[in-house]
Amino acid sequence: MYIRPFDPWKAKLCTCPFKYTLNVYTGCDHACVYCYITSYIPNAFRVRTKDNLLPKLERELRKFDKRYIIALSYSSDPYPTVERKLGITRKVLELFRGYGVRCLLLTKSDVFERDLDILSELKCAIGITVTTVDERKAKLLEPNAPSPKARIRALKKANEAGIPVYARIDPIIPFYTWEDFDETLDALGFVSHITVSTLKLRPDSKRRMFAKFPEFMGKLWPLYERGERIGGYYYLPRKFRLKILEEAEEKILKKGITFGSCREGYRSFPTCDGSHLVP
């Protein structure tokens, strides 16, 4: 089955409402240094297409219970570089339109702008992830993803087309992207909902962070050593983490935007994942 119940890696602190998920591609070439899919997908930064995805998906959609949402995607990005050329996600969206699927889209690309004609006829909400609006830092963190500026511009177009839009500021990295939080939030001031999440490291993402930012990690890692270990992830110390979340929440709510947090054991309203925005 390509459409599967969302299983958030058995995360203890996940508060997601029940939904289904579909990964149009296997792997993701945005190659974010902090990415966690590398811990369970071999060669995760090499994108592969799926065998007979479209006919199989159509068979699954015939029987799909339309009360539920399908999220694109949680173990990949629906718009890796190759999507511009292959247009498989576009074909999936056409199928969704045909079968009246309710869809929650999340991406680090601006290519969804090409598909706004279909998306505006779908029951869907579109979200982008922006860790920082600092283009230099974003390039280091997410080397192959389109720039934050391009993502935000595309999301504004979706908003203008009347599609509900949301964002994730995720991960928040202390002493790094957290320094730009106010600017990032200002640039996202037009969205309805923002979900935040602090950096959670796994052994492989920790290795990549050390390889890319040796000096900075020399400063950051001692903090994680004093932190918690939750479900295979290194978390920041609880007090430190909650302080970031409280501050982020206050700033987001002040802008009239609803607040969600992801796998933090912290509150979210109305949902942690923005799924309340799907019509």
**Residues that bind ligand SF4 in the complex, under the rule CB under 6 A:** 28, 30-32, 35, 37, 76-77, 108, 142
Quick one: 74 or 259, whose CB is closer to ligand SF4? Answer: 74
Quick one: 22 or 28, whose CB is closer to ligand SF4? Answer: 28
Question: Least distance (Å) from ligand SF4 to the CB of residue 90?
Answer: 18
- Reading the block at residue 133, the tokens are 């609006």
**Phi-psi region at 175: left, alpha or beta (left = phi > 0; alpha = psi -120 to 50):** left
Question: Least distance (Å) from ligand SF4 to the CB of residue 142?
Answer: 6
Q: Name the packing angle between helices 214-225 and 203-212 (round to 10°).
A: 140
Question: Least distance (Å) from ligand SF4 to the CB of residue 132?
Answer: 14
Quick one: 32 or 169, whose CB is closer to ligand SF4? Answer: 32
Question: Least distance (Å) from ligand SF4 to the CB of residue 76?
Answer: 5
Quick one: 43 or 120, whose CB is closer to ligand SF4? Answer: 43
Quick one: 72 or 103, whose CB is closer to ligand SF4? Answer: 72
C-alpha 27/C-alpha 144 separation (Å) is 13
Quick one: 37 or 118, whose CB is closer to ligand SF4? Answer: 37
**Phi-psi region at 52: left, alpha or beta (left = phi > 0; alpha = psi -120 to 50):** left
Quick one: 61 or 151, whose CB is closer to ligand SF4? Answer: 151
Question: Least distance (Å) from ligand SF4 to the CB of residue 156?
Answer: 20
Quick one: 207 or 238, whose CB is closer to ligand SF4? Answer: 207
Q: Is 45 exposed, middle or buried (0-12, 13-18, 19+ CB in 10 A)?
A: middle
176-181: long-range contacts (C-beta < 8 A, 24 or more apart)? 176/132, 176/137, 176/216, 176/220, 177/131, 177/132, 177/134, 177/137, 177/141, 178/244, 180/132, 180/133, 180/134, 180/137, 181/248, 181/251
Question: Least distance (Å) from ligand SF4 to the CB of residue 218?
Answer: 24
Question: Least distance (Å) from ligand SF4 to the CB of residue 274?
Answer: 16
Compute CA distances 66 → 16, 98, 123, whole Å: 18, 12, 11
Helix, strand and coil percent figures for the chain, each rounded to 5: 40, 15, 45
The tally of CA atoms less than 13 A away on the side-chain side of residue 24 is: 25
- Reading the block at residue 157, the tokens are 């177009």
Question: Least distance (Å) from ligand SF4 to the CB of residue 77?
Answer: 4
C-alpha 55/C-alpha 275 separation (Å) is 27
C-alpha 22/C-alpha 39 separation (Å) is 19
